[in-house]
Structure 1
């Protein structure tokens, strides 16, 4: 965990998430697109919940999680530390909103809370973060035989996005079909 990195993001939210919620959703969907690209195609669902939270669910491999020498689950620390492939890396991938990809730590740091549910062959876990800081360990959940990731988060005071604008941007990935489920109150 990199508290200094998370604080830097929180001090400059519109630098790291220009466009607010729209950019955060694109950061999460980019990981589903990575999975889809490695599998030759995929699908994810973006749900806009009535409480202002958003979830992105895919059926990829799930986030790399392994057991340590004591049999405890350990996963990549992508939520609470820099993704060195993207964050402040020259020539990084540009997301469909025209802004650079920075990684999941931006989403976690700029969210009041984020719950990461991860299903892989051989196990399933969930973990909760508040402003990017893990507040639970990896908690095992029932393995239902599926794989994939659900990132459910509630952004902390960032501007939203219109349905049409978000739908247009989400259709930008050729290898990933994206469904939008808007459950917000009208």
Structure 2
């Protein structure tokens, strides 16, 4: 598999883009007409985690925590978002938060979540979140990146040692 995200075959997200501003703007515009709601956003995160576990032939475990300030944390034991080093050694993550899910976009038959609404992809969660922090653990490390309305607001921060 290619280590530069622009060289990857795009099966789930556009690997040539770090951020799809048009997609993120459209998600926010559509939500203004028909609010998605917190329950749906949490279900999107859980569906993503379940999909990652299923890809390993496993069932995962997730813990959802609602904090006093109204924010929500979801922790799961999945394989983590595809993260690797590019040709220069820089860590890059598949931009699932900032680009549309190609498997779900434009499908009239997208799978329904338990709330009855069709699945839209994890980027919907990021686009509709004022802020989001994604911590990713893989076999070879752990990294955190912040997002504001789906746009990365920080670089990937190596958390490998802190999370051991």
- The Cα of 1:75 is off from its aligned counterpart by 1.1
Higher relative contact order (CA 8 A, sep 6+): 1
Q: Which runs of 5+ in 2 are unaligned?
A: 1-18
Q: For residues 18-37 of structure 1, what are the structure 2 equivalents within 5 Å?
A: 18=36, 20-37=37-54
- The Cα of 1:36 is off from its aligned counterpart by 2.8
Structure 2 CA distance for partners of 1:79 and 1:100, relative to 1, 3 Å? same
Counterparts of 1:145 and 1:7 in 2: how far apart (Å)?
Answer: 34
Whose strand proportion is higher, 1 or 2?
1
- The Cα of 1:113 is off from its aligned counterpart by 0.1
1:103 aligns with 2:110: no
Q: Which runs of 5+ in 1 are unaligned?
A: 147-186
1:138 aligns with 2:160: no
Counterparts of 2:24 and 2:106 in 1: how far apart (Å)?
Answer: 14
- The ranges of structure 1 where at least 4 consecutive aligned residues each deviate by more than 6 angstroms after the TM superposition are none
RMSD: 1.8
Aligned length: 145
Task: Pick from 69, 73, 76 the counterpart of residue 91 of structure 2.
Answer: 73
Counterparts of 2:112 and 2:31 in 1: how far apart (Å)?
Answer: 18
- The Cα of 1:11 is off from its aligned counterpart by 1.4
